[in-house]
Amino acid sequence: MSPAKPARKIKTRRDAAKRGGPGRKSAGARTGGDRADFLARAWVMEVEAAERYAMLADAMEEHNNRDVAELFRKLARIEQLHADQLAAESPSARPPGLPAGGMRWDEGEEGPETADPGDLHYRMQPYHALAIALACEKRANRFFANYARKARNPAVRKAAGEMAEEEAGHVRLIEDWLKRTPEPVSGCDDDPDPPVLSD
Amino acid sequence: MTTAAAAVPLTAQAFKTDYRPIWCPGCGDYSVLAAFTKAFAMLELRPENIAVVSGIGCSSRIPAYTSCYGFHGVHGRALAAGTGLKIARPDLTVLVAGGDGDGYSIGGNHFLHSCRRNVDLTYVVMDNHVYGMTKGQPSPTTEPDWDSKLSPGGTGLRTFHPLVIALAAGANFIARAFSGDPNGTAQILAEAIRTPGFSFVEILSPCVTFRPEQRGWKDQVRAAPVAPTDDPARAAKRIMTDDGFNIGVLYKGARKPFQPPVGSGTRLPADLEAEFSI
Amino acid sequence: MAETPLARPEASSISIALTGSGGAGVMTAGTMLLNAAAEAGWYGLMVRSSGPQIRGGEAAALLRIAARPVDCLDDRFDLVIGADWQNIHRFADEIPLDAASVMVGDPDQGTPPEVFLKQGPRLGHVPFKKIAKSIPGSWPNMIMLGVAAASIGLPLDALRNALRKSYKKGGEGLAASLAAADAGIAAAQALPAIPRLVSARRTDKARWLITGNEAAGYGAIRGGVRFAAAYPITPATEVLEWLAPALSRVGGILVQAEDELASINMAIGASFGGVPSLTATAGPGLSLMTEALGLAVAAEVPVVVVDVMRGGPSTGIPAKSEQSDVNIAVYGLHGDAPRVVVAPNSIADCLTATQWAVHLAECLQVPAIVLSDQYFGQTRGVVDRPADLNFIGERSRAKGGAEAYKRYAATPSGVSPMAVPGTPGTAYTAEGLEHNERGIPSSQSADHVAQLAKREKKLRLHDYGRHWAELAGEGEVAVVTFGSCTGPVREALARIAAEGGRARLVSMRLLAPAQPERLARALEGAKRVLVVEQNQGAQFYRYLRAHFELPGEVRSFHRPGPLPIRPGEIYRQITEWSRA
């Protein structure tokens, strides 16, 4: 894919290494446990990603950016579908809630596939949103690939490998999607009106 | 957990409402909201047993975005309202939330005395160094040379140092968090809520509209390189000398919270009459 | 004791001032005299007047003791007993004398100030200090007490009982004080006589010794208040000081706040938590609280503020009375902000009015201001025990249900059930921004119009019953007043009635929301209406003019504090008007 040309004030692409936690050292892949543990982690990751996309969709809808809202909504549905598939595959995959103490991840403190709300802009274009999604899918792919490499349990290695493949598919999908999406024009985030006063 | 209904912990999502934030997309407060809900889920709380109290400003809109009981009061007085609520209803988990203008400027006196009083509540300030809702005026944490319409060329005033002031005034728990790390923030919030007494969590939360350069904070923040201390002198030195981007729990004391006993008196109102009778 | 010649005339009320500078103990002596009068079956009251000094300043205990209940100071004083006369001229306006008055002083402390002497009182001398020196452990003020007791014909056992009660441990202090009082009684025999007070009628009526500030505190607890936030301010502090231990005895709490902004917001926060709440303050504090009171209006959180009015504006005259907070109480919030304003009409009514205010605040989910004043607040009176009232704060509470909870739902009464935190299924955000029925902020006109109407309607539709005012008498002349002016008006009307005249009293307890229909009915047939109040700007009169129809000819009698409005002034206003 061609490098995105983000508009002046919109920055949507980041180095994944800078992601999330403020310089927290990665504790190394937490790759112990059995297949059920792995699936639970994967499920939490997908659900968190879905919920975050839904939140971003809400934010864009509230700010009358319908195109991007729809795109985030679509991404939310895809991630939720993914989570549901995992749950269907192994009912034990679905933990009752966020694990006490929160889920720790290799890359930063949020799930590898979870988009950062800080990357949004109310005038952002679908192209920017897809760039965010692409970064998420790449992180997810890297996460599972890492998992597959380091896990000692063969069943986990197999499952993680499959997930990494799946995420790689998503990466390709979004790259194609980006190719079909017009690049943002310069000044797309201009707003002739000043911000409004509220409270 | 004492009731059957409370046996199943809720997910973070259960602490959100369908009412959509008016915050600008990109605003750090979205992530703070996410951190709130994650912390509540982690602590296995129930929304009906939490009250989120706020004043006025962008960040003070947060109560209605949670599924908890909320109180959106007047500018600068959130800590007072939260204090009254917690003292009258010690069974509730009380969080007071707001911004730097609300908490450090108009509400400065309540900040000092809440630290002193040490009521068991958690005070969260989403600090973006600017008044957002009134279109970008300098706040107490704004840099002295930051140019604005109201203070052209900057205020020329040194910035307020909320953490060291909280420490000096007696806050029992002091932490700095960064909105760009909702899970890390959730961990800090959960610890703040769990710690008895007045817990103060300053969250660096960028304003992408009036301080777009704050998008760069994510590259400046780092985990505080040292473990939390219970020694106020050490904490003061650390807080005074860091560059404002050390993230983590910076001080954690063991001071007894202020909570007068509620409901211990069992006399009837009519019993009070005796002192007036001739 | 004090068996003075039977030829002495009797009076139904005697007024006595005890004066002296710091260390003289005139307040203690005055309190004991009032206690003793209460023991004797009499009624009475004591007003404290002091210089601004924290210690050592000049002070005057202004007492009125009577065989029947009294609500105000009289037009004049029968007796002034001065430990000394240093700076006592500053009280000249507060202690009017005439040729029938008696001034008693210590000859070693010089002569009374000219400003008193020119009013022609008879003079008497008692060497208080010398006598006190001759009785080891005694104080001059106890000799003053004896003089006062003898002068009014106070039964000896009542005086002794009162002294015993104040020296609970007995001992040498009590013995010395008893001896000193006896010496005062003996010394009184040689003094010019004043009328003796008619003996108390023995009744079964329970009586209380109480200040308006204590009564307000007790009324709050009776109404259901269990949380108070406090910031000290003269002359309201005693409400809070009385409440601090009292609340804890009934399972409630009082918290001292860092300022009035905090105290009102703490009270509102606690009330949001479901606990009926109150704070007490005076004008400067009320000014600071108005923003938060507007929040309580908009967010519909019940809260009660007792405003013990003092001279204003600004810091004004902190320790003296004035009814000049009418405007801020009825108008002092920004926006259209309906609130309840209630004014007690006597010391004892501070209980009733405050209890009622709690009831109204809770029922209507609205802030209620109780307009007391320094006179009520800091005057200790012997009063009939107020009747028990059923006014308990009963808030309409939401129950958790399947329906999406609408905190600010439109209801026929305008009052919507309020959820208490801790209740599952009814979480909402109490909102100071204009909002829709769910409490979600809204700037849409339909929501603003609907919510404004709801908040206005709930106050308008409520049936306030007979407590809206105290009505008495009949006739074509009517006096409309409120608060501490009620006492002198009542007494003026009694004098007119004693002379065969007829006039009616309307003392409004409910100032806001205005009840124009009720006042119109109360004034039906009135040809002359006199409006009486204690402030410079005729605030109450103008409020009545704005919101009520007043029949016939209407006059305003108003003047600022700190001097109390006296019965004679009102009597003259009415009688001179009748002759005009």
Q: DSSP assignment of B127-143, as one string? A: E-SSBTTTTSB--TTS-
Alpha-carbon distance C502 to C474, whole Å? 6
Taking only the tens place, the pLDDT of each residue in C363-378 is: 999 999 999 999 999 9
**From the CA of A61, how many Å to the nearest CA of chain B?**
9
Alpha-carbon distance C180 to C127, whole Å? 12
* Substitution target from B87, B106, B109 for chain C, most C beta carbons within 10 A: B87
What's chain C's average pLDDT? 95
Cis amide leading into C235 (omega within 30): yes
B110, B263, B267: residue with CB nearest C258: B110
Alpha-carbon distance C279 to C254, whole Å? 9
Alpha-carbon distance A119 to B97, whole Å? 23
Interface residue B37 vs chain C (CB under 8 A) = no
E-strand ranges in C26-75 read 43-50, 59-66
Q: What residues 301-320 of chain C have any CB closer than 8 A to a CB of chain B?
A: none
Interface residue C424 vs chain B (CB under 8 A) = yes
Residue type, C421: P
Averaged over A144-149, what is the pLDDT? 93
Residues above pLDDT 70, as percent of chain A:
75
Residue C445, judged by CB atoms within 10 A of its CB (0-12, 13-18, 19+), counts as exposed
pLDDT reading at A18 higher than 80: no
pTM for this prediction: 0.94
Taking only the tens place, the pLDDT of each residue in C20-79 is: 998 899 999 999 999 999 999 999 999 999 887 888 889 999 999 999 999 999 999 999
Residue with tokens 């211990």: B264
- pLDDT score for C7: 61
Alpha-carbon distance B189 to B245, whole Å? 17
Q: Determine which of B3-7, B202-206, C104-108 has the lowest per-residue pLDDT on average.
A: B3-7
pLDDT reading at C234 higher than 70: yes
Residue B145, judged by CB atoms within 10 A of its CB (0-12, 13-18, 19+), counts as exposed
**From the CA of B169, how many Å to the nearest CA of chain A?**
28
- pLDDT score for C201: 82
Note whether B85 contacts C291, CB cutoff 8 Å.
no
Chains in contact with B, counting 3 or more C-beta pairs less than 8 Å apart as contact: A, C
**Size (chain C), residues:** 580
HSE-CB for A87 with a 13 A CA cutoff: 14
C218, C265, C427: residue with CB nearest B67: C427
- pLDDT score for A35: 85
Q: What residues 241-270 of chain B have any CB closer than 8 A to a CB of chain C?
A: 260-269
Q: Which value does ipTM take for this structure?
A: 0.96
B22, B179, B222: residue with CB nearest A62: B22
DSSP conformation class of A42: H
Residue C138, judged by CB atoms within 10 A of its CB (0-12, 13-18, 19+), counts as buried
Chain B residues lying within 8 Å of A63, measured CB to CB: 24-25
The first and second tokens of residue C511, run together, are: 């100032």
Q: What residues 94-133 of chain B have any CB closer than 8 A to a CB of chain C?
A: 109-110, 112-113
Residues above pLDDT 70, as percent of chain C:
98
Note whether C229 contacts B84, CB cutoff 8 Å.
yes
**From the CA of A4, how many Å to the nearest CA of chain B?**
19
Secondary structure of residue A30 in the 3-state scheme: coil
Note whether A21 contacts B183, CB cutoff 8 Å.
yes
Averaged over C329-335, what is the pLDDT? 97
Note whether C433 contacts B72, CB cutoff 8 Å.
yes
Instruction: Give how far the C-alpha of residue C309 lies from the chain's centroid of Cα atoms, to the nearest Å.
Output: 9
- pLDDT score for A80: 94
Averaged over C454-462, what is the pLDDT? 98
pLDDT reading at A96 higher than 60: no
Q: What residues 88-127 of chain B have any CB closer than 8 A to a CB of chain A?
A: none
The first and second tokens of residue C457, run together, are: 């309607």
Q: Nearest Cα to C95, choosing from C58, C125, C133?
A: C58
Q: Is B174 left (phi over 0), alpha (psi -120 to 50) or beta?
A: beta
pLDDT class for B7, splitting at 50, 70, 90?
low
- pLDDT score for C571: 97
For chains B and C, CB pairs below 8 A equal 191
Residue type, B45: L
Residues above pLDDT 90, as percent of chain B:
87
Q: Residue-wise over C549-578: b if at least 16 C-beta within 10 A, else e?
A: ebbeebebbbebbbbbbbbbbbbebbbeee
Taking only the tens place, the pLDDT of each residue in C237-290 is: 999 999 999 999 999 999 999 999 999 999 999 999 999 999 999 999 999 999
Instruction: Give how far the C-alpha of residue C150 lies from the chain's centroid of Cα atoms, to the nearest Å.
Output: 30
- pLDDT score for C403: 76
Chain B residues lying within 8 Å of A101, measured CB to CB: 42, 187
HSE-CB for C1 with a 13 A CA cutoff: 25
- pLDDT score for A74: 96
Interface residue B63 vs chain A (CB under 8 A) = no
H/E stretch holding C372: strand C367-373
Note whether B81 contacts C423, CB cutoff 8 Å.
no
C272, C427, C439: residue with CB nearest B47: C427
B19, B48, B84: residue with CB nearest C227: B84
Q: What backbone torsions phi and psi does residue C204 show, to the nearest 5 degrees? A: -90, 0
